[in-house]
Amino acid sequence: MLGFIPDLSMVTSAAFKASGDIIAVLGVTRGHVGGSEYLSTIHGQVAGEPPPLDINSEARLHTACLQGIESGIIKSAHDCSEGGLAVALAECCVLGPGSPIGAVINRDMLQGRPDFYLFGEDQSRIVVTLEQRHVSNLVRVGESYGVPVEIVGEVGGDSFTIDQLINVSAERIKDAYFGFLEREMK
């Protein structure tokens, strides 16, 4: 995809920026696993319908995210696609320059089957971070566009943790993410 960014100060990367930042998801997580990496990798099945896409919801989501970025509310933003929410969050831990940074995700936010919630590949979702003082502003932006805002955790530490379900060091994620191709070529 190609786009034009008229103001380079508005470029927003996917990487988590600072410990203490709040992690939120813009959009709705339903846990749709049809055709997902999870279904293929864990259950050895390539089956099911892909998640539905509502182009109007998608447009409102991107407009709300852009407004959050332009108003200085959103510090980082990353699409939630292949691999689902858990993979997007793990990527955010390691995509920045320097040492990776961890995250603690609230178990209370999990709805339905935790595996479907974390690895479902629902469309129209963006993982964002922001300072605590901006949470109510982001919620207002979301409401003005009909985009749900779900607070899911906090940036910090040296591990990516979701209660007793996932606890892996950010360094291990970084090694797996950036070292995979080299290991496969040996």
Give me 112's structure tokens: 């339905």
Distance CA 149, CA 116 (A): 19
Each residue's pLDDT tens digit, 135-170: 999 999 999 999 999 999 999 999 999 988 899 999
**Cross-strand partners of 126:** 26, 79
Q: Classify domain 16-185 by CATH number.
A: 3.90.650.10
Mean pLDDT for the chain? 92
Give the tokens for residue 174: 């970084």
Boundaries of every domain in the chain: 16-185
Q: pTM higher than 0.85, yes or no? A: yes
Does the pLDDT value for residue 1 go beyond 70?
no
Report whether 160 contacts 90 (CB < 8 A): yes
